[in-house]
Amino acid sequence: MQISMTVNGTDVTSEIEPRVLLVHYIREVLGLTGTHWGCDTSNCGTCVVLMDGQPVKSCTVLAAMAAGHDIRTVEGLATGGTLDPVQQGFMEEHGLQCGFCTPGMMLTARALLDKNPHPDDTEIRQAISGQICRCTGYATIVRSVQWAAAHPAGPGLEDAADTEVKA
C-alpha cells in the first residue's frame, strides 16, 4: 500500500506492507536511525517519536496508521543547525551516558515543555515514566529538562558570552 506523511517537515511517500511498524519504517525505509528500537513491547520508550506533537511509542503504531500525520523524530529537533534547548540541556547536564534512551527522552521532554514550559521535577518524572534509562538514575535527565525549561531560546546572551571567553 502507499502511504504519505510528513517527517521532520518533509513530505514522504512510500510503498509499504501494511504490517510495517512505524519504528521500522522510520529507521529502515527513511534511514533515520536516530529513533531507536528497544524492547518491541511498548515498555522501554526508546522508540518514542512525536505524532502531531504528542509522544507515541513507534513500535506499537503501524506506519499505515501514521499516514497523513505529522511525525517528528530526534533528527528534527535541531533547527537550522541550532540544537533544541532540550538537546543543549542534555549536553550541559550530562543527561546521557550510553545514549540509547536519549532520542525518546528528548522528544518526550520537548512535548512536555511545549505543553508546560515550567514543569516541576515531579511533572518531568511523570512525563518520562514510560521510558527506561539504565545509566543515569534519571537525576541528570530531570536536570537536563530543567535546563531546557530555564533556557527556552537555547543558550542566552550570558551563556554565549561565557562560551566566547572560554574559547
Partner 1 sequence: MQIPAPFDYVRATTVDNALELLARYGPESRVVAGGHSLLPMMKLRLSRPEWLIDINDLYELDFILRDGNKLRVGAMTRHTTLLESDEVAALFPIVRDAELVIADPVVRNRGTIGGSLCQADPAEDLSTVCDVLAAEAVIRGPRGERILSMSEFHRGPYETAVGQDELLCELRFGIRPRSGSAYEKVERRVGDWAVGAAGAAVTLAADGTVDDAAVGLTALGLDHPLAEAAAVLRGRRPDEELFARAGTLAAAACDPVADQRGPVDYKRHLADELTKRALRRACDRAAQMQEG
Residues that bind partner 1 (CB under 8 A): 1, 17-19, 21, 24, 40-43, 45, 48, 54-57, 60-62, 64-65, 67, 108, 126-127, 129-131
Cα-based torsion angle of the residue sequence 55, 58, 60, 66 in order, rounded to the nearest 10 degrees = 90
Q: How far apart are CA 111 and CA 32, in angstroms?
A: 20
Shortest distance (Å) from residue 164 CB to partner 1 = 39
Cell numbers 536536570: residue? 143
Nearer to partner 1, 54 or 79 (CB): 54
Q: How far apart are CA 53 and CA 49, in angstroms?
A: 9
Shortest distance (Å) from residue 32 CB to partner 1 = 18
Nearer to partner 1, 30 or 112 (CB): 112
Q: How far apart are CA 46 and CA 106, in angstroms?
A: 10
Shortest distance (Å) from residue 132 CB to partner 1 = 9
Shortest distance (Å) from residue 166 CB to partner 1 = 38
Q: Which amino acid is present at 37?
A: W
Shortest distance (Å) from residue 54 CB to partner 1 = 5
Nearer to partner 1, 30 or 64 (CB): 64
Q: Which of 7, 54, 11 is nearest to 35 (CA)?
A: 7
CA angle 32, 52, 22 (to 5 degrees): 40
